[in-house]
Amino acid sequence: MNFVKYPETGYNSWISEAWMDEYAEFRLESTEWQQCTEKESALITAFLYLHELPGLTADPTVAAQLVALMHAQAEQCLFLLKNAGLDQITNPNQVNLGGLLQVSFDLPDKEGIDAFYSPRVLRLLDAYLDSRPSVGTITRRR
């Protein structure tokens, strides 16, 4: 997959590597980006995570929304680099308490995605996310 920055056709990033370098230079806790050897891949992965974010309605043709998307991509990129191996999480909403007892819970999409998205990303994009119910269900199995 080739790196293609917005607004080019078939884009897979809202930000360039140079933009991210500058962003990270003035951002605390950005060591992972500075040490990253696959920066384009990291940016594309962060973009894909945001592109798959349930309920995202941000429009990059609107300047303020594009800025929010750019900052969110930068923050998601840092989050993913700090949490390497995140793709190995199979069900962040399930807890095995040992033995035969397992507790799982279904959270609304907006709250249940916390394991996969930076809290800062969710705050940056909150205005562009469809609202979700605030309660979930809990199931206990033996």
Q: What is the pLDDT of residue 142?
A: 56
Least confident window among 23-27, 60-64, 69-73, 86-90: 86-90
Task: Round to whole Å and give the CA distance between 51 and 93.
Answer: 22
What is the DSSP code string of 6-60? TTSTT--BSS-HHHHHHHHHTSSS-HHHHH-S-HHHHHHHHHHHHHT-TTB---T
pLDDT confidence tier of residue 51, bands split at 50, 70 and 90: very high
What size, in residues, is the chain? 142
* Average pLDDT of every residue of the chain: 80
pLDDT confidence tier of residue 57, bands split at 50, 70 and 90: very high
> What are the sequence ranges of the domains in the chain?
17-89+118-131
pLDDT in tens, 88-140: 444 444 444 455 555 454 444 444 566 788 999 999 999 999 864 333 444 55
